[in-house]
């Protein structure tokens, strides 16, 4: 609770300018079609934001590989790779559920090869899998530190490494990483002290890897971008770790991230790369500034929503 109090104290000071989207220069996206027939490999997509991105792609008729660890129901966390697969099929897509440990090299390599063999190729990698904890360095169990670095940083590096050879064969390839905007490292707010040095390091590592890839893969035409929410998103993480029902009520739905991801992934990969995107900036640039439909509680004012970390 002390950590949440500290974060909320920062939010009180910063909220005034958060959602004045009319002052943001619209982003430009060169749309190249929808995701029908495209193949996505989405890590950690048995629930939450990853599943929402997969479902939005499924509505276009995409092929989706769900790569996650959850194969049996958990009373504290809804969803498995198999329940996610059923939802994706009902939404109009094809799905391959794969039990995959993002920390294990062979598991990741085999999962991507299985995806390519099953669907005939790979067009999009979504690095979504993530582990969170919010403790100061002296209070951090090294197992938690190692877990977050293995899932967040190493997992992003690993999935990207084995996806790249296949993405090079795609006509409009994308790597999209769900991680914070790199410019926030230089924010006057020391996010490392607010959200914990270890966790923050692991999340910005995901962004740094994606930034590096954008340079390495520029000549290959592979778009490498990050996407992060302006507000907290109504997920199990927010429910269980960041304030329960009250935090969920002050959040946006997962669809805000899914719709923003869809805009990015349907844009020209050669002209849309090395960007740190925020969900509402992407959506407002294409569909207008009204974000009210994404509020979990429509009676709450935009200004009273809970900003997420790193923005």
Nearest to 301 by CA among 258, 249, 243, 236: 249
CB 109 within 8 A of CB 41: no
Q: What angle do CA 202, 107, 55 make, to 5 degrees?
A: 75
Q: Give the Cβ contact number of residue 175 at 10 Å.
A: 27
* Alpha carbon separation from 49 to 177, 188, 223 (Å, rounded): 12, 28, 20
Largest interatomic CA distance in the chain: 52
Distance CA 4, CA 97 (A): 35
The two structure tokens encoding residue 119 = 């669907």
Q: What angle do CA 196, 258, 251 make, to 5 degrees?
A: 55
Q: Give the Cβ contact number of residue 141 at 10 Å.
A: 11
Distance CA 234, CA 238 (A): 6
**Could you list the active site residues?**
199
């Amino acid at each position: 609770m002390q950590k949440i109090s500290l974060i909320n104290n920062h939010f009180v000071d910063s909220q005034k300018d958060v959602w004045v989207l009319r002052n943001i220069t619209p982003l430009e996206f060169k749309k190249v079609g929808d995701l029908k027939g495209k193949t996505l490999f989405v890590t950690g997509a048995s629930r939450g934001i990853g599943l929402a991105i997969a479902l939005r792609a499924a509505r276009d008729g995409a092929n989706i590989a769900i790569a996650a660890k959850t194969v049996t129901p958990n009373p504290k966390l809804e969803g498995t790779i198999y329940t996610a697969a059923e939802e994706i099929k009902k939404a109009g897509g094809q799905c391959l559920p794969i039990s995959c440990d993002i920390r294990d090299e062979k598991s990741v390599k085999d999962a991507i090869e299985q995806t390519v063999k099953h669907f005939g190729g790979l067009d999009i990698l979504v690095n979504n899998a993530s582990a969170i904890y919010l403790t100061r360095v002296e209070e951090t169990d090294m197992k938690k530190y190692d877990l977050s670095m293995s899932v967040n940083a190493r997992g992003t590096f690993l999935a990207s490494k084995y996806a790249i050879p296949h993405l090079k064969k795609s006509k409009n390839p994308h790597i999209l990483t769900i991680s914070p905007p790199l410019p926030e490292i230089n924010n006057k707010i020391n996010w490392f002290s607010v959200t914990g040095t270890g966790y923050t390091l692991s999340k910005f590592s995901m962004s740094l890897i994606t930034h590096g890839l954008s340079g390495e893969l520029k000549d290959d035409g592979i778009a490498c971008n990050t996407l992060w929410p302006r507000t907290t998103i109504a997920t199990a993480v927010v429910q269980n770790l960041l304030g329960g029902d009250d935090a969920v009520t002050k959040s946006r739905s997962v669809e805000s991230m899914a719709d923003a991801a869809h805009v990015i992934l349907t844009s020209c990969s050669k002209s849309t790369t090395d960007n740190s995107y925020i969900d509402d900036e992407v959506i407002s640039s294409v569909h207008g500034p009204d974000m009210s439909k994404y509020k979990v509680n429509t009676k709450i004012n935009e200004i009273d929503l809970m900003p997420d970390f790193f923005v």
